[in-house]
Amino acid sequence: MQTPHNTLSELLEVFGSVTDIVPDGIIVVLPSGTVAYANRAAARFLGSSQEELVKCHARDIQRSLWDDMSKIFQDGTPQLGVRSSIGGKLYITNHLPLRFKTGIEGVVSFFQAVFVYDKYAMELESYREMAQLLDSIMESSYDGLWITDRQGNVVKLNKAAERITGCKTDDILGRNVAELVANGYVDESVTMEVLKRKTTVTLVQTTKADKRVLATGNPILNSKGEIDVIIINDRDITELDRIRRELDESKALVDQYRSELLDFQLRDLESNFFVCRSREMESIYERALRVARFDSTVLINGESGVGKGQLAKLIHHKSERSEGPFVRVDCAAIVDTLFESELYGYEKGAFTGAGAKGKPGLVEMAEGGTLFFDEISEAPLGQQVKLLRFLDEKCIMRVGGSTVRAVDTRVIAATNRDLAEQVKKNLFREDLFYRLNVVSLTVPPLRGRTQDILDLITFFTRKFRSKHGIDRSIDSEALDALLHYEYPGNVRELENIVESAMVLSRRDVVTLNELPPSVRGHADPGRLKNAIEQGSLKKAIDQLELEHIAEAVRKYGSQQKAAPHLGINQSTISRKMKKYLGS
């Protein structure tokens, strides 16, 4: 070890002011073996004072120590990383010759307790293993991972980040993110936003390779709350966008296939089963057709006049019991005292006035078919327990009889009341409610379903032309009023209004003045300014429907986006546009 000092004494003067703060033990030994200097750490390690160590011989400290140093005085070769036992303790020692102009005038020995050395070595190895683990974790991620420092310089990125951005590590490492944005690698930097906002930021980037990337930057803070580094996670959503578009297209196809399947299933039914073709009603029809294949009990909910009875007939017609009878029980029309005998029948002599031969009830008459309880909420509370027993056991006993009769029938019930509320008010048995509410179908009210109103007007017009032998249509103003009336009586009220107007009209065209006053107040001639003034009902409906569809498509940008707002599916829009406008 060549020193800048001329003599050993000059070097020792400097040692005294510098090496006392060093944690390693340091001693300087002269060619005679005398210790010329020892720092505080050396005195502590050797269990002595600095004054006691100085002037003693190296042999007195440890003979092997002096043997090693003697060789250095002879050949000048340093000895590094030597494990030495001194005072019963193991140390790692490094012996270096001190060369001056006159030659080797001393040997300086640095020694450190082995446990400290090993601790540092273990910590260093631990850091290496942690770094390797970090590399493995980063490389195992399918998402791109970046690490930048607090200035926004890229310090690390994985191969996935290269794949997603189309960049190479050698081109990116060490560069600032602002430079990457300027050079077009990405259109904006999440790192810059994190540094600006001091919080986690997520944004969508467009890369140089024209990929859309969902980037999330997370700041890692130090003990002072300052940003140390930023971890960025990149996810390529280009593929996700493609899959989402394909999913949207698939959903549109599913809607189209569902509509076509429904058309096929309903094709052989009487037209009055499926006049309404709005999205809401198509969904009801679809569920009704699905449940029709099974014998499950069905509860149909809906306001008066919405067509609950027609839906019950549809379920019966499409079931395996379609060849059997469809028996309607009007719960609201049967007197309480006669409810049991009407429902279950009676034996001869069961009561005063009973027939000589007895009589089967409505339940028996539904054998092999469907029993429809209309307005079930009006069933007498005292009779509901017997009705529950019949639903559970499918057996009855006639009034005045003693024989139990098994009945094979499917049960459908309908109500215009909220049965759950009726249960709370103790007006309907809770157990009966749950027994009926196996499959629930809710028919929405007619108000607001313009598409269905159009279809129903067309249907009823044709019906009454045929029924009454008259050839009358409805003018544009009357049609506009009918379309915007709210129909508290639902389909039944619309049917009555159309029949009344067609029967009482003195002309071939029903005008606004021939509608009821409650309906006339909803007319607005401006709404149909482009409708055919004196054309047929069919042309007026077509014109209005076309206007509604065209306006929705213009407003929402496409048939697919307009469909949900019109309450119909995209395939229906496409079919109608072709119908009215050709190809």
Query: How many domains does the structure of the chain reveal?
Result: 4
Q: Is residue 203 in some structural domain?
A: yes
Q: Is residue 60 in some structural domain?
A: yes
Maximum Cα–Cα distance across the chain = 149
- What pLDDT score does 422 carry? 94
- What pLDDT score does 50 carry? 86
Q: In this structure, what DSSP letter does residue 6 have?
A: S
* Same domain membership, residue 295 and residue 429: yes
**C-alpha–C-alpha distance, residues 366 and 405, integer Å:** 13
Q: In this structure, what DSSP letter does residue 1 have?
A: -
Q: Is residue 569 in some structural domain?
A: yes
- What pLDDT score does 158 carry? 87
- What pLDDT score does 135 carry? 78
- What pLDDT score does 315 carry? 93
Q: In terms of pTM, does the model score above 0.85?
A: no
Decide which of 386, 418, 442 is a domain's last residue.
Answer: 442
Return averaged pLDDT per consecutive 10 residues of the chain, 583 residues in all: 60 72 85 89 84 87 85 88 71 84 86 61 66 78 86 87 82 86 86 90 85 89 87 84 79 70 56 65 87 94 91 92 93 88 79 65 93 94 92 88 89 95 94 95 85 81 88 83 87 91 88 89 60 52 69 62 76 65 41
* Same domain membership, residue 469 and residue 332: no
Decide which of 442, 466, 491 is a domain's last residue.
Answer: 442
Tokens encoding 238: 């280009």
* Same domain membership, residue 477 and residue 420: no
* Same domain membership, residue 107 and residue 72: yes
Q: Is residue 246 in some structural domain?
A: no
Q: Is residue 27 in some structural domain?
A: yes
* Same domain membership, residue 160 and residue 95: no
Residue from 512, 515, 498, 494 nearest 450 by CA: 494
Q: Do β-strands 227-236 and 212-221 pair in parallel, antiparallel, or remain unpaired?
A: antiparallel
* Same domain membership, residue 408 and residue 313: yes
- Count other Cβ atoms within 10 Å, centred on residue 385: 12
Residue from 44, 51, 52, 92 nearest 68 by CA: 92
* Same domain membership, residue 275 and residue 231: no
Q: Is residue 131 in some structural domain?
A: no
CATH code at 339? 3.40.50.300
- What pLDDT score does 581 carry? 45
Q: Is residue 306 in some structural domain?
A: yes
CATH code at 558? 1.10.8.60
* Same domain membership, residue 436 and residue 314: yes
* Same domain membership, residue 395 and residue 346: yes
* Same domain membership, residue 184 and residue 108: no
* Same domain membership, residue 231 and residue 286: no
CATH code at 209? 3.30.450.20
Domain that holds residue 87: 8-119
* Same domain membership, residue 422 and residue 311: yes
Q: Is residue 337 in some structural domain?
A: yes
Residue from 488, 545, 535 nearest 516 by CA: 488
Decide which of 442, 477, 494 is a domain's last residue.
Answer: 442
